[in-house]
Structure formats: structure tokens, C-alpha cells
Chains A and B, each alone.
Chain A
């Protein structure tokens, strides 16, 4: 459960056993923690001659548990003659007969005291005892389970993960009520001691993938993990790529669907973003809503997403290529119209496109960072710099504004942000190629991109599968979305062990009969 890695620089000082002297212990704890004001030490003489102390971090413990289960039981313990109890049994007596909290454990090391304090436990130190009691009372303010900000849907569950790992695991368990849902936790980060949970469906997820995830998590050696993004960069297969090979989601339903496909989820305490591996190129075009809407609409939307991917990646470079190299390809009237717009525009199409794309990227970044109260200002200024004003000023042509707009809008159609970001990077490369070689350059770029994409892997699975290598049976949920009765098998490409999803008939006989009535 706990990490066994030791980091001498930080832990050696506190790596010692608990002493028998209460005052010395308390002194030591205070000093180690730097007399931090949120450390609460309550010295306690209620237990007759046994001086005791409760130590906890304010804000990390549930006040209700502290009062009703710990303090009250200690003060109002059954009036037995404590003198009768032998000294070495005092602790057991307290543990089994006085305290009514559920989660109590004996600890002997100072290290454990600090880890437990930070984990929201209450430590009961007893004078004359080298053993302390750890009483689980964790409870702090959490964000409520709210609708996820990213990956929102019109139809479907509106719950999103929050920052609490326990809540997040609960959200998954509530959807998959099966003992095969296994959760493995470990602590990563020798200072932050962040709990990281690996969740998978045993006998569905591939053992090799599970073991690989375990190994890669094991290898992480860092002081702190503040978000699942840290983990993602440590465990991803290829670092020299702009494409994400780890999927992340804020939606419990998405995570559950992935688990049911045999993928492995990695939950990190303190962030609502859950990682999913293996992640394939096609996964980034799947939205949770695809599965809640009718199949035909979902298929259409999915095709639109693939189209948007290409528009977001290639629209400016296409425009550059056509307008500076291949004017003969345009319909005559369109050419005249475009030429009319370009009259008096001072820059070459490439510079013009670069200018507009950069402006847009700046606006986008500003829009994300800007405080909500002044957000309006950005949109007003934005419409000026990318819009009619820029055209009227003679800096850019109207067609370019349209191109930049369609590009920007298209990149938001991709349901997962990670891929949308990589598309933005590729877009600039493609623009450079288009400006130097025209369509020839774009084609070279696309060929290189295809080679690169097909060479990528995510946890042993080819990134472009089921397209390359082609797995025909998996196209049912990638290129299009087959109606649920036809999705009888789990995808082969996520390496699931047990492929059967529905019985051969698809619909059970009993259900059919009942439906007829």
C-alpha cells in the first residue's frame, strides 16, 4: 500500500520511534512541523493520572467525528477503575473499549505520525507508551460533485469528478456494481504523498497492460504530484510527439465506459481529471454523448468531427497554398472575388495567415486567463482584431477572417482538448509547408504525419488502430457508431481479455416477449 521508497534528505530526521515521554514527543512533533499554527495539540488529563494528548491538523479532520466519537468517548468513558488496568494494557483498553471510532490503528514510528497527521487523522499519544493511536477522522471541505466544465453534454449524466479521490472512486463504483472492479492505490511524490489509484475491471482489462501501468507508476520518482498531468507525462509511451497518448476525462460515465472496454483508469487525489490508458487516436473523437444519442446522429456527428479535425489542421494552409500557388484550381468567379479582397492587402497570404492565427491564439490564451469580470472586454476587442475592423483597415482580407474563424471553431469540435492542442501545433507547421511548397508541401506534411502517427503506441497498442492496422470489427465504434444491439463485442484494439458484451442473440428472449405485449 505505502511506498517503500525512502528519501533520506527529508525523512531521515523524523525516522525514529515514538518515545515514552509525552512532552518530549509533543515537543518533537511541534519542532518538526515548525510550530505551524494549524497543528492542534490538546493535552488531556481526563483519564485520571494518564496524561494524554490529541494531535491533529486543524481543517483536515471532521469536527463532528472529533467531537462525538473521540472527545466525547474519552471524557465520558465508562466509569471503571482505571487503576485496575495494567499499564501495558492501557492502550488496548482505550482502543477497544473507550473509543467508538471505526478506524483505529496502532503506530510506533514518528514518520507514521506525520504522514497520518497530514492525511487527516487524529493521533492519540499516551504518556509512558511508545505506541500511539491513529484515529481516522479525515474530513475537509470539498467541491461538490458538479457538472464537468470540459466535455459537457446535452443529454447524459451531468456529474463530474471532483478533487476528492474517495468521491471519485465512489462515482465509479456507483456505476459499476461488480466485485471485478479493482482499485489499487499507492502514494507518489515523496513530499506531496499524493494518493494515486489504479482502477480496472479484473478479467476484462489485459493483465499485461495492468502490469505495465503498475510498473510505470512504480518508476515515478518526484517530490510532488499536483495533477494527473504529471503522471501522464511520466507514463506516456512517446515524449517526442505532439499527440496525446493518454486520454483524460472529467466524466465518470466516460471513465466507466473505458473500464468496460478493458482500459485502465488512473485517478489522482486532488484533481478531477482521470487518466485512461491505452488511448488511441480514435478515442479522441468519441464523445460521451455519442452513446446516449441515436446511432445515426452520433455517426453523422463523428464524421463531422473527423472533418473538423482536418479543417482545424489544414484550412489556413489550404488557403495559403491555393492563393499563392494554385490559383488555376479556383473557380474563376471565386478567384476574382478573392483577388478583389486581396487588393491593397500589404502582406503575402502566409504572413497574413500567420498574423491572424497568432492573434487568435493570443486572444484565446487571454480569454482563458482573464478574470471573468473583464471577460467582456476580450470579446469586444477580439471581434475588432479578428473581424470587419481588421478588414476595413486593409491589414487582412475578408476571406482570411473567414478561414481563421472556421479553423478556430473547428478545433473546438474535437471532444478532447489534448488533441485539439496538437492540431494547433501542426497547423502552424502545415502553414509553413504550404507557403513554401503549396499543395505539394501539404501532401509531404500529411505523409510525414501519417508515418508518425502509425509509429506511435500507447501501452503496447498501435495508436492508429483500428485504422492502421485495420481491425474491421472495431470500426463499429470509431469511424461510425453502430446501434447498441450490434455492439456485441468489446473493441479488440483496447486489448480486452473478455470480448463478449452481449449474448449471441443480442437481445434476451424474455425481454423480447415482454416487449411484444
Chain B
């Protein structure tokens, strides 16, 4: 009996001895939703968007004040700066739920994002599912300080809005930390990062007044895709190039495009399903790439007197759409390889997959050889539905 008692006591003491060293109550955490990195004189300036739970939750009644607060500190390394945030914040900084990582354009093009990504991925507490974006023509601090309507936490707004638009609008693309890191270390593909901009007066954006109007003066908007060489930002894709890029990378799911009618007007086509396949072909150790895009779509609107009830018209529309997509892709590839000399499309990766030995030889001078790479584009556009109307409304409207 004594032996048992001693054993029991020992067990209980063991429990107490370790204590609760990593215990932290939820109301002692400053939940960081968005992290911003700007360049500073002595290292980097870290901005954390911390959520004020009482300001967000709807069940606590009337919400007063801002739902978020923003803290900034400057330090030589990322985590020093994050720890230093407690100088101003009453709560311990909690990184696990970070939704977006915003890097300023200046920082990304001069310092490079490599070290930041390294520290973020190394930390086991951080889930690598947050989106990375570049603050274009502004600082990360400004982006994170801007209040947004509908989604009260602007980091959440950035996250959701990017996710939605990447699903429904061809020119945007989502880059989460995991993928970015993977593309940074892979030799056959260069990383890209979405750009985000402040529209309107950046100072007014941090005021509560900004979200109290139906049309806020200051908004956050996604623009373009940033092209990286190694870990430095070297340029931007415009909207058409972004579209072409997304078609090639098979990022497009649903989007809306248009083709011109034979006379005046446009016909809008909504994609129901889009997929693309990239295949490398190697002939006498010369690689070439075949890209095939397949689209199933429906007619969204006919803004001319085109007789879409006629199969020939549909066939012509399909051919037009095909050539349009091919053109988009072609332009994107040409301008990227000419201007930036980087392979953001993953051609190298595809060659590596097909013939690893050949890739070993090509790898070192790939960026230079990119301009010589032959890329074949094919598209298969299918209009499966025409909506609830047959011929255009216009042809029935009485004069």
C-alpha cells in the first residue's frame, strides 16, 4: 500500500513539476491576422495587424471602435521585431493565425523576400496557408492599417477577396506561403506574387469613418502579378499578361471573357470549366513545350444581332475565343522571356519531369535559353450552353 501511495505521489508531483509552461489563455493573446514587412534603415520594420476580438464579434452587442489595431517595430530580424512588438502591445503576439503576409514593393525588390520566408516557414507555430502579397506603390503598413467594410478585419478581407477573385476572375492568382517557398527553391520555376494597392487617400483609410460610408474613400485592390528573380521582385505583369500566365499555369477556373461580333458589339462568354495541360517534348535534345487549353463555356450576353441559334455562328465564336486565349498566352510568354528573362511558367519544371538528364545540362543557363524555347499553343473552346435566350434580344426589339 505504501509503495502504491509513493508511486501515486510521484506521478502527481511529476504533473506539477513540469508546470504549464506553454499554457496561454486566449485572452492573453494578440492574434496577428496580417503581418507587414517594410524596409527600414537598421533592418526591417514589421507591422502586425492584431484583431480586437470584442470589436469583431457580433454577439457582444454594439461594437465600438476599430476591430483591428496595428503595431509596428523596427529590428534587424523578423522575430526580434515581432517580440519587440510587446513594447507597445499588452498581449503576447500570436502568429499561428496569420492570414496575409504583405511585403512592400521596395523591400521585395531591394532586400528580397528569402530571409523573411525562411523565418516564417521555420517557425512551427505558423501555418503556411497564408497568402503572400506585395504592397504596390505603398508600404505594407499602409495596407494593413486600412479599414475595410463587409469584412471588418482587413487581413481577412485581403484573404477572402483574393481567394474569391482567383476563383472567378482570370487575372488574379493566389500564392500561399507553402507554394511560394516551393517555387523559390525549385530551379524550373520562378515565383510570382500578387500585388495589392491602396485606392484613394491612404491616411483616411485607417479611420473608422472610412467604413461608415457606403462607398469608402479608401479601398484595397489587387493589381497585377509580381515577377521574381530568385527572391527579388523584378517587375509586374499587366492584366492581359496575368491572364495569359494563369491560363498556362492552369489557375483559371471560372472567368468571363468576350469576343467581338462580326459587326459592332460584343458577346460575353462565361467559362464553366477551364483546364490546361502543359507537356514538354524533346527532339534531339531540343526541348519544346506544348500547351493545351480546354474551355467549356456558356454565352453570358449577346450585345449585337448575332444569330447564336446558328451552329456556324457558334463555331465561329469558338474559333475566335480559341485564338484569343492563344494570343493571351503567347503575349505573356513572349513579354516575360523578353523583359524579365525568368521562367515563371514552370517550363523548366516540366522539362525536368520529362527528361531529368537533359534538365541537368540546361538548368544553369535556363534563363538565357528561355527566349529560344519553342512553345506550341492549342486551345479547345466549347460553347455548351446559350442561356435562357436563343437569338439576341436586340433582333427582337421593335424599332
Chain A residues within CB distance 8 Å of chain B: 323-325, 327-328, 332, 335-345, 348-349, 398, 432-433, 435-438
In angstroms, how far is the closest chain A Cβ from the Cβ of B184?
A: 24
In angstroms, how far is the closest chain A Cβ from the Cβ of B153?
A: 8
Q: Which of B20, B94, B156 contacts A327 (CB 8 A)?
A: B94
Q: Is the CB of A343 within 8 A of B18?
A: no
> Is B296 close to A, CB under 8 A?
no
Q: Is the CB of B22 within 8 A of A398?
A: no
Q: Is the CB of A336 within 8 A of B31?
A: yes
Q: Is the CB of A325 within 8 A of B57?
A: no
Q: Which of A335, A337, A342, A436 contacts B25 (CB 8 A)?
A: A342
Q: Is the CB of B25 within 8 A of A349?
A: yes
> Is B364 close to A, CB under 8 A?
no
In angstroms, how far is the closest chain A Cβ from the Cβ of B132?
A: 17
Q: Is the CB of A340 within 8 A of B22?
A: no
Question: 6 closest pairs, A vs B, by CB?
Answer: A328-B96, A340-B57, A340-B53, A339-B53, A342-B27, A339-B26
Contacts A336-B57, A340-B56; is A324 near B25 (CB within 8 Å)?
yes
Contact partners of B24 in chain A: CB under 8 A:
324-325, 327
Contact partners of B18 in chain A: CB under 8 A:
436-437
Q: Quick one: closest A residue to B22, CB to CB?
A: A325
CA of A349 to CA of B20 in the docked complex: distance in angstroms? Answer: 13
Q: Is the CB of B31 within 8 A of A345?
A: no
> Is B370 close to A, CB under 8 A?
no
Q: Is the CB of B23 within 8 A of A323?
A: no
CA of A339 to CA of B22 in the docked complex: distance in angstroms? Answer: 18
Q: List 30 A-B contacts (CB under 8 A).
A: A323-B26, A324-B24, A324-B25, A325-B22, A327-B24, A327-B94, A327-B96, A328-B97, A328-B125, A328-B127, A335-B97, A336-B51, A336-B56, A338-B26, A340-B54, A340-B56, A340-B57, A340-B59, A340-B60, A341-B59, A341-B60, A342-B27, A342-B53, A343-B27, A343-B54, A343-B60, A349-B26, A432-B15, A438-B22, A438-B23
Which DSSP category, helix, strand, loop or mixed, fits chain B's interface?
A: mixed
CA of A349 to CA of B15 in the docked complex: distance in angstroms? Answer: 18
In angstroms, how far is the closest chain B Cβ from the Cβ of A209?
A: 31
Contact partners of B27 in chain A: CB under 8 A:
339, 342-345
Q: Is the CB of A336 within 8 A of B29?
A: no
In angstroms, how far is the closest chain A Cβ from the Cβ of B341?
A: 39
Q: Quick one: closest B residue to A326, CB to CB?
A: B96
> Is B99 close to A, CB under 8 A?
yes
Q: Quick one: closest A residue to B95, CB to CB?
A: A328
Q: Is the CB of B53 within 8 A of A343?
A: yes
Chain B residues within CB distance 8 Å of chain A: 15-16, 18-20, 22-27, 29, 31, 33, 51, 53-54, 56-57, 59-60, 94, 96-97, 99, 125, 127, 153, 156
Contact partners of B25 in chain A: CB under 8 A:
323-324, 342, 348-349
In angstroms, how far is the closest chain B Cβ from the Cβ of A435?
A: 7
In angstroms, how far is the closest chain A Cβ from the Cβ of B81?
A: 21
Contact partners of B94 in chain A: CB under 8 A:
327
Q: Which of A328, A345, A435 contacts B20 (CB 8 A)?
A: A435
CA of A348 to CA of B20 in the docked complex: distance in angstroms? Answer: 12
Q: Quick one: closest A residue to B27, CB to CB?
A: A342
Q: Which of B19, B20, B26 contacts A335 (CB 8 A)?
A: B26
Contact partners of B53 in chain A: CB under 8 A:
336-337, 339-340, 342-343
Q: Quick one: closest B residue to A338, CB to CB?
A: B26
CA of A435 to CA of B18 in the docked complex: distance in angstroms? Answer: 12
Q: Quick one: closest A residue to B19, CB to CB?
A: A436
Q: Is the CB of A337 within 8 A of B57?
A: yes
Contact partners of B54 in chain A: CB under 8 A:
340, 343
Q: Is the CB of B31 within 8 A of A339?
A: yes
CA of A433 to CA of B22 in the docked complex: distance in angstroms? Answer: 14
Q: Which of A328, A332, A398 contacts B99 (CB 8 A)?
A: A332
Q: Quick one: closest B residue to A345, CB to CB?
A: B27
Q: Is the CB of B31 within 8 A of A398?
A: no
Beyond A324-B24, A324-B26, A348-B25: 12 further Cβ-contacts under 8 Å? A325-B22, A327-B26, A327-B94, A335-B97, A337-B56, A337-B57, A339-B26, A339-B29, A341-B57, A343-B27, A433-B15, A436-B19
Q: Is the CB of A332 within 8 A of B23?
A: no
